[in-house]
Structures are given as C-alpha cells and as structure tokens.
C-alpha cells in the first residue's frame, strides 16, 4: 500500500469540494444562481433537486474542516461562490465575504493549505439572465469578482484557480445541454468556449496587477479512445480530443485553438476572437488536472459536426457509468508536461468515483473506492517518475454532495452524508487514506 512517503517531500494531499455542492445556498444572503432555475425545470436534474440545503456546510464548516485534519491531509480545495459574495453579480454581500474569511482562517488554524477556486459554476442569475458566458461582458464582471474577493483572502490562500473545468462550463452546458443553462446550441457553445478563457485571462491580469501569485486554472481531461483502428473512428476520437483535451490548454499555452475543433466552431466564434489570445495566454504559476475516465468514440457519418458517437467500454464502471481507467491519469499528467507546460507545477485537482455505498450502523465499507484511489495515486507516482512535476493530489470529494444533474443520488465522498439528518460518517476509504497519510509511521 502506498503512503505519503512514496511521494516527494512537500507533496500536498487533500480533498476537494465546491460551494454550490455542499454549502447550501439558502443562507447568509446568498443570491440566486443559474443552477437554481435549471434544477427547478423538470427533466434537468434527478428529482429536480437543487443546492439550497446541500450538506449545510455553511453551518457545519468547522466540523468538516476537522474531518480533513483528522485524515492527516495537508490541503483543502474549496470554491468561493460568486452568487454568495455578489448576490446580484456586482454588489458585495459582506456576510458572504465574512463566511469565506472565517473558512480560510479555520483552515490555517488546522494546518490545512487553502486552495481556492473562483468559479465552480454558480453564475449569479442577474448575469445569467443577460446571457451568462455567451455575453462578453460577463468576463469583465468575473474579473471584478476575482479582484474583490482577492482583496480579502489573497494574503492567506496557498493558490487561486480562476475557472473549474472550462469544458463543462462551455461544452457540457451549452452544446450537450446537461448542465445549467442547459443549451444545445453550437453558436452559444462556441462563444462560451472562448469567453470562459477570456474571463480566466482577465482575472489573471487583474490579480497579477494586485501583486498576487500562485495563479492557475483547473482543466478536466477525458481519455479519447477510437472504437476501432478505422480512419473514421480515429477522426472521431481526434475531434473529441481536440474539443475536450486540447482547446483550453492550447489556447493558453500556444495562443491558438486546434484546427480539428475550429473546423466546427470557427463560423460561430465571437468576432475578432484572435485579438483576445494575448490576454488568454498569460503565464500561469501552476496547472490543475481533473481526471475521471475515458470514453470510446466512433464515427457517426451523416450526423451534425462533430459527427461522433460514444460506444460502451468493457472496463469496470462506477455508479456514474464511467469506466475505471487509471492509466489515463498517467497519460494526461505526462502529456501536459511534455507537450504544454514543461516543468510548471501540476496538481491533480480532482479524481474520484461515485459508488452506491451502503451504510451499516457506524460503518460504510467502500473497498472499491479505496482501490480506485490507490490505483490513481500509483498512476500519479508513475507520472512523477516519468518526469511530470506533480506537486499534489486532491480526492473528489470530501463529502457526498449535490452531484449536479444527478442530484443527491450519486455519492463521491470519503465521508457519507445522510441527506435527512445531515450526519457525517467517514467511510472505510477515508480511514485507509488517513492511515496512508499519517506522518509518524
Ligand atoms: C466534475 N462529464 O464535474 C466537477 O468539477 C465536480 O463538481 C463534479 O462533482 C465531479 O466532476 C464529478 O462529476 C464533471 O460529463 C461533470 O464528463 C461531468 C463530467 C465531467 C466532470
């Protein structure tokens, strides 16, 4: 079994969460966001559940930070809700700001390094109503939010990520229609694919100007496997790889987008998008990699661009139906270092699995999650041996939580949450990780 001593000195082990998925948006003057309205529309979310109560972390944060500490973790990846800090997208809510101020101090008191994410998807309704990420003005509003919250927290956080998972924000939300705002519109998607990076760039520019360092972005990657060796299936996997895995990192590090994706998106892009690439391409201090699974892609001739379809894979699957494929994590960590970021620090900012965990008294036995976690830690260790400068690993997630379109049904936590009583019960995976991270073995 791996332990912390198998990793370089100073490697950060932690767990990740996001504001809307755990806090409960019904408290503390938090404003409405596009997930509230999306969830209220039948058919979008399992049982039309929303994040209004979630894990009630807003009131139970001290206990939740204690759980991280008791598992011998070094860091905590959390997000600061735009709708809580600026309920109308523009005006600061002092109560919301004070909450994050306490939360960050609470981490420092417990010896946990705060890894902050600025946008983990709760677009204030006032801005969503004006077009959200399809509207260029939203990028400037986001930079203002970044500046305001960094004035308060910037001296104490270990790092700041601008955006969580641009692919989900742009493609999953505006082309596939699975997340808020639930659009299936290539023009909206093309604009969001670009504006989300412009928002990132404007925020980096603003925060650098304030003297802030430790700035990064969190990208998600999905291993794209062709169904067969045919030219058509290889094209299908290639175009999906360009949309999912190359668009954002190449926009940032190469100042341009991949031709295989522009082929479908270029006619719909905002005018003169090329003029924004210098802002988008500013230097980062670190890169976050989120990795869960792979998909198998086949050609779908005669259908609209990108003209691909998914084929079921043969590997064991999680409760999400996602194949378990740890080699994919090694692939992306080494690929990022080799093709894009060289020696820049890389963090695994999310990796985890949903499982139909069964609670039995005070015990939740989730051996499958323990195996999943240690297989991905082993893949990370191999990537380090192969030259990737990986400096940390955050398990998704600390708690069972609001899994977006899946409501509360899909459980990713190291800690079980009863969504009636809100009681927390650490699972066997939590205890296994705590043992691996003990410092005085
Ligand atoms: C990520 N996909 O979301 C998010 O950062 C988390 O908020 C979320 O809870 C976690 O992964 C588990 O899903 C994703 O469809 C959602 O490929 C969907 C996809 C990928 C990531």
- The interface predicted TM-score (ipTM) is 0.92
Give the model confidence (pLDDT) of 337-361 as tens digits.
999 999 999 999 999 999 999 999 8
For residue 18 and ligand 1, the question of a CB distance below 6 A is answered with: yes
Q: What is the pLDDT at residue 407? A: 98
Quick one: what percent of the chain has pLDDT higher than 90?
Answer: 99
CA nearest ligand 1 atom 13, residue: 403
Token pair of 9 as six digits: 């000195």
Question: Domain-by-domain residue ranges, the chain?
Answer: 4-437
Mutate to test the pocket of ligand 1, among 46, 161, 178, 220 (most ligand atoms within 8 A of CB): 220
Nearest in space to 368 (alpha carbons), one of 352, 351, 392, 349 = 352
Q: Is 237 helix (H, G, I), strand (E, B) or coil?
A: helix
Give the model confidence (pLDDT) of 383-415 as tens digits.
999 999 999 999 999 999 999 999 999 999 999
Work out the widest C-alpha separation in the chain, in whole angstroms. 61
Helix (H) / strand (E) containing 13: strand 12-16
Helix (H) / strand (E) containing 141: helix 137-153
Rounded distance between C-alpha atoms, residue 88 and residue 82, angstroms: 9
Q: Is 360 helix (H, G, I), strand (E, B) or coil?
A: strand
Q: 52: number of CA atoms within 13 Å, CB side? A: 10
> For ligand 1, what atom is nearest to the CA of residue 172?
15
Q: Are 154 and 210 in contact (CB under 8 A)?
A: yes
For residue 122 and ligand 1, the question of a CB distance below 6 A is answered with: no
CA nearest ligand 1 atom 12, residue: 403
Average pLDDT for 156-180: 98
Q: What CATH number labels 4-437?
A: 3.20.20.80
Nearest in space to 163 (alpha carbons), one of 100, 216, 114, 101 = 216
Average pLDDT for 100-104: 98
Mean per-residue pLDDT over the chain, rounded: 98
Q: What is the pLDDT at residue 441? A: 52
Rounded distance between C-alpha atoms, residue 110 and residue 66, angstroms: 8
* pTM as predicted: 0.98
Average pLDDT for 128-138: 98
Q: Which residues are catalytic?
A: 165, 350
What b/e readout covers 370-393, taking b as 16+ CB neighbours within 10 angstroms?
Answer: bbbbbbbbebbbbbbeeebbbbbb
Give the model confidence (pLDDT) of 106-131 as tens digits.
999 999 999 999 999 999 999 999 99
CA nearest ligand 1 atom 20, residue: 168
The verdict on whether residue 195 carries a ligand-binding annotation is: no
CA 21 – ligand 1 centroid, Å: 11
- Does residue 105 surpass a pLDDT of 90? yes
Question: Could you give the angle at which helices 367-385 and 428-437 cross, rounded to 10 degrees?
Answer: 30
């Amino acid at each position: 079994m791996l332990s912390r001593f198998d990793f370089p000195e100073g490697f950060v082990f932690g767990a990740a969460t996001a504001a809307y998925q755990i806090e409960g948006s019904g408290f503390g003057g938090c404003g409405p966001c596009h997930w509230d309205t999306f969830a209220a529309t039948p058919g979008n979310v399992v049982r039309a559940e929303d994040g209004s109560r979630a894990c009630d972390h807003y009131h139970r944060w001290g206990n939740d930070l204690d759980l991280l500490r008791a598992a011998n973790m070094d860091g905590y990846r959390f997000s600061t809700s735009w709708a809580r800090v600026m309920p109308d997208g523009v005006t600061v809510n002092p109560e919301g700001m004070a909450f994050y101020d306490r939360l960050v101090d609470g981490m420092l008191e417990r010896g946990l390094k705060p890894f902050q994410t600025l946008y983990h998807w709760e677009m204030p309704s006032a801005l969503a109503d004006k077009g959200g990420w399809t509207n260029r003005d939203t990028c400037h509003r986001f930079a203002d939010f970044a500046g305001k919250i960094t004035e308060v927290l910037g001296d104490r956080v270990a790092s700041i990520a601008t955006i969580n998972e641009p692919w989900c924000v742009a493609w999953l939300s505006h082309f596939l229609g699975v997340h808020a705002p639930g659009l299936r519109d290539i023009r909206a998607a093309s604009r969001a694919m670009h504006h989300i990076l412009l928002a990132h760039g404007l925020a980096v520019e603003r925060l650098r100007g304030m003297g802030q360092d430790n700035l990064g972005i969190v990208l998600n990657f999905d291993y794209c496997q062709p169904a067969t060796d045919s030219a058509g299936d290889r094209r299908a996997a290639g175009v999906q790889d360009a949309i999912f895995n190359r668009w954002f990192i190449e926009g940032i590090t190469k100042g341009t987008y991949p031709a295989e994706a522009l082929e479908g998106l270029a006619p719909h892009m905002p005018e003169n998008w090329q003029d924004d690439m210098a802002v988008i391409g500013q230097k980062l201090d670190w890169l976050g990699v989120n990795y869960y699974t792979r998909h198998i892609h086949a050609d779908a001739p005669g259908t609209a661009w990108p003209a691909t379809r998914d084929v079921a894979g043969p590997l064991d699957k999680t409760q999400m139906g996602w194949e378990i494929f740890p080699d994919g994590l090694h692939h992306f960590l080494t690929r990022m270092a080799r093709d894009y970021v060289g020696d820049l620090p890389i963090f695994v900012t999310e990796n985890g699995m949903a499982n139909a965990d069964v609670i039995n008294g005070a015990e939740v036995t989730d051996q499958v999650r323990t195996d999943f976690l240690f297989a991905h830690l082993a893949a990370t260790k191999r990537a380090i041996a192969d030259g990737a400068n990986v400096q940390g690993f955050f398990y998704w997630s600390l708690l069972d939580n609001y899994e977006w379109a899946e409501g509360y049904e899909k459980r990713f936590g190291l800690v079980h949450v009863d969504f009636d009583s809100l009681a927390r019960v650490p699972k066997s995976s939590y205890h296994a990780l705590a043992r691996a991270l003990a410092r005085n073995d």
